[in-house]
Amino acid sequence: MKYDKIKKTLVDFSFILPALVFFLYVIIIPLISGIQFTFTDWDGMSAVKHFVGLKNYRTVFHDTDLIQPILNTLLFTVVTVIVINIAGLALAMAVSKEFRGINVMKSIIFMPLVVSLVLVSEMWMYVYSDFFSLLGIPSPLIDRKTAMLGLAYMSIWRETGLAMIIYLAALKGVPSYMYEAAVIDGAGFWQRFKNVTVPFIAPAFTYCIPLWLAAGLRQYDYTYIATSGGPGHASESMAYYIYNYLFPYDKVGYGQTVAVLYLAVCIGISNIVTRMLRKREIEL
Amino acid sequence: MNKTARMATKTALLAAVTAACMVFPGFAAGGKKITGNSSDSAQNISGDLNIIHYLTETAKLKALDDMVAGFKTEYPNVKVDVESTSMDNYQDVIKLKISTGDAPDIIFGSCKTYSDLITSGNIEDISNQPFVSRIAPGVLSNVQLNGKVYGIPLDEMANVVFYNKDIFARYGLKIPHTYSEFIAVCRKLQQNGVTACAAGYQDNISVGANFYTIFFGAPYLTSENYAAELIGGKSSSGYPALAKSLTQWREIMQYQNTDRKTIDTDRAEQKFANGETGMIIIGTWGLGAIMNYNPKGNFGGFMYPSEEKETDNAIPVATDDTWMLVKNSQNRKAALAFCEYMTRKDVNAKWCATTSQLSAISGVTVDTFPVPMKDIAQIAAQKKAANWLSVGTFSGQYDTTWYRVLQDYAITDSLSVADFCKQLDKEFAAAKK
């Protein structure tokens, strides 16, 4: 009996073994190996690396230059998570009813997602430059106060379609009799949304919010292509800050230290938010 | 680097890159690869010669293709792979290649700007190679670091002002010889509804083209060691010439296209080539693209007059297209043969004629330049020149920071010279962490 249980466990484990080996080889082992650089002053090119102990870690905790990229990243993340989810849900509710041309509309809203991040950045740089100037509106990318919001809008434009599809799938799972019962009970739109829709689509929130939370925290592409972190450091994200130290600045040791610590912070935030959402899902 | 060290470095960098990839995507940068053909005829030198560059101008790409074709005719057993990547991620690609043991044999780039590659021991000292004697003595210091030669410059660039002769003639304008005259020309053009100068500060190329033209002439000659001194901790506010140049730049911006902050160099060149502006402040490297956009354009060139006394002005010059040999190259013989080949007078003359650039090789003259380049060649030969790459410039974090603060100054009208200096000093101090 015990042998059978062990055998069954091994058989089950064998199914995930190939993926586990691949994950270990591609992600975990390099990640752990990378930690060694945090104790060096390696420039990324030299054959020699000098051991510097915990100097890089001490520097991180005294590095005031980190404040701006942290604030920028938080702003981008908060704006994109809120707007993408609200807009995605609103659009999903709008297109959840069947009418003529609805599929074309869904395709149009979803279409930006198939465009690459680089192309989206390049396209919006033109929109901000040429189209906005026709309207007499200055490009948000050249103003310190609006640069990060300009980048966030690129992300919102691209990603809202995906949020719409996810929420639409969740909305399809809400039993229609629940709405009918709510209507009979005299519930208005807001009450139906709050007491019927939201509880039933809670798993979609658990998926969508951490998804764009992680995307916001690791935002790099829009900054790299559209602003290079400028004006000044106004649109420098944490990922771009790390990139600068790993490549242009020739300070792999320090860049890697920030990367490792930031990864730990990101994992922590994602974990906390996911747990909170799951807990809320059960309560609802 | 021996094989073991190479492997260790390769594994180490793979780990670093993978860890970084977890934090942000789009990390890996690739390049476009063009593979040449090899011939079957026997020669002493053989192997795969790998060359990497970031050239994009049509004329320069043609010049490189011609040079590689000529080399392959003479060395048919050498297979030449030319890889190109964008200037934006060029350094990243080079560093990744070197660190992962996939270094090319020949790297395009200025020895001074990429001095971090030299100081990290990745570029070969070619001081004792016979072909080094072919480099014009006046520019040898541009490819030297600590007295050793690390690069082969094929040509020289000058930072100048190109102007539209038709527009100048229409409004009765003459070439300005002092700063006041230059501003008067700008004002006259503006009064007649013509944008005086084209610029596109969305990329750093135009930022450099404008500011370097303004600063690296006469002002630079009063502060040749500025780079080393600023890195050493001296405040940028201690350079009156720098402040003067920044002030001039700010004034000139008033006469540049209103969309200058949101367009790039290409579009600025198009504006000038199409006759939308009367002038463009740029390096001679930009002339190929301008002529390409408007081959029939009636253009001329003149020295940017930063001073109020004509004879005090100086034209900024520097070596441009430079190639470096990677240390311990696996195809060293072929790489050295290529270096020798490109420094030959006939080969270099063809390069310079195609690229419309002044030669950096002794005894090479080109008489097929387009008119604007002829103007500049004459000025460079007759007037005072400031070779701004002979002493030293920024590299690594200092180079990135320098350009970022310059770009910030270009696109933020409210930034004063004092703000610029304060920001630069703060960021240079932070670079020491």
> Do A230 and A259 fall into the same domain?
yes
A30 neighbourhood in chain B, CB within 8 Å: 14-15, 17-19
pLDDT-above-90 percentage for chain B: 73
Q: Is A218 on the interface with B (CB under 8 A)?
A: yes
> Do B216 and B344 fall into the same domain?
no
At residue B124, what is the residue type? E
> Do B341 and B311 fall into the same domain?
no
> Do B18 and B48 fall into the same domain?
yes
Question: Would A219 be classed as within a structural domain?
Answer: yes
Which CATH number does the domain housing residue B181 bear? 3.40.190.10
C-alpha separations of B318 from A249, B167, B326, B350, B407 in Å: 24, 30, 23, 20, 21
**Residue A173: HSE in the Cβ half-sphere, 13 Å Cα cutoff:** 13
Residue with tokens 């790299």: A224
Please tell me the predicted confidence (pLDDT) of residue B13.
45
Q: Mean pLDDT, to the nearest integer, of B294-316?
A: 95
Q: Mean pLDDT, to the nearest integer, of A89-112?
A: 90
Could you tell me the pTM of the whole model? 0.86
pLDDT tens digits for range A156-198:
999 999 999 999 999 999 999 999 999 999 989 999 999 999 9
Q: Has residue B7 got a pLDDT over 70?
A: no
Q: Is A31 on the interface with B (CB under 8 A)?
A: yes
How many C-beta neighbours within 10 Å does residue B363 have?
10
> Do B80 and B144 fall into the same domain?
yes
Question: Would B358 be classed as within a structural domain?
Answer: yes
Please tell me the predicted confidence (pLDDT) of residue B141.
93
> Do A257 and A137 fall into the same domain?
yes
Which residue range is the domain that position A151 belongs to? 56-283
> Do A35 and A162 fall into the same domain?
no
Length of chain B: 433
| A227, β-bridge pairs | none
| B107 in Cβ contact with B97 (< 8 Å) | no
Q: Number of structural domains, chain B? A: 2
pLDDT tens digits for range B236-290:
999 999 999 999 999 999 999 999 999 999 999 999 999 999 999 999 989 988 9
d(Cα B301, Cα B306) in Å, to the nearest integer? Answer: 15
Which residue range is the domain that position B43 belongs to? 3-154+320-362
| B151 in Cβ contact with B322 (< 8 Å) | yes
> Do B421 and B297 fall into the same domain?
yes
The DSSP line for B94-146 is HHHHHHTT---SEEES-TTTTHHHHHTT-B---TT-GGGGGB-GGGGGGGEET
Q: Least CA distance to B262: which residue of chain A?
A: A129
Question: Would B375 be classed as within a structural domain?
Answer: no
> Do B101 and B170 fall into the same domain?
no
> Do A135 and A31 fall into the same domain?
no
Using CB atoms, which residue from B19, B91, B259 is nearest to A133? B259
pLDDT tens digits for range B197-238:
999 999 888 899 999 999 999 999 999 999 999 999 999 999
| DSSP H or E stretch at residue B408 | helix B396-411
Which CATH number does the domain housing residue A252 bear? 1.10.3720.10
Least confident piece of the model among A1-10, B12-21, B226-235: B12-21
At residue A137, what is the residue type? I
If you count DSSP H runs as helices and E runs as strands, how many of each does chain B have, helices first? 17, 15
Q: Is B294 helix (H, G, I), strand (E, B) or coil?
A: coil
Closest CA relative to residue B256, chosen from B286, B291, B283, B281: B281
Instruction: Kindly state the tokens that stand for B170.
Output: 């229409």
Q: Number of structural domains, chain A? A: 2
Does the complex come out with an ipTM higher than 0.90?
Answer: no
Q: Is B73 helix (H, G, I), strand (E, B) or coil?
A: helix
> Do B130 and B239 fall into the same domain?
no
Q: Is A216 on the interface with B (CB under 8 A)?
A: no
Q: Is A187 helix (H, G, I), strand (E, B) or coil?
A: coil
Q: Do A27 and B16 touch (CB under 8 A)?
A: no
Question: Would B329 be classed as within a structural domain?
Answer: yes
> Do B213 and B354 fall into the same domain?
no
Q: Is B13 on the interface with A (CB under 8 A)?
A: yes
> Do A29 and A143 fall into the same domain?
no
Instruction: Kindly state the tokens that stand for B302.
Output: 């003149």
Q: Is B20 on the interface with A (CB under 8 A)?
A: yes
> Do B203 and B82 fall into the same domain?
no
> In the 8-state DSSP scheme, what is residue B123?
B
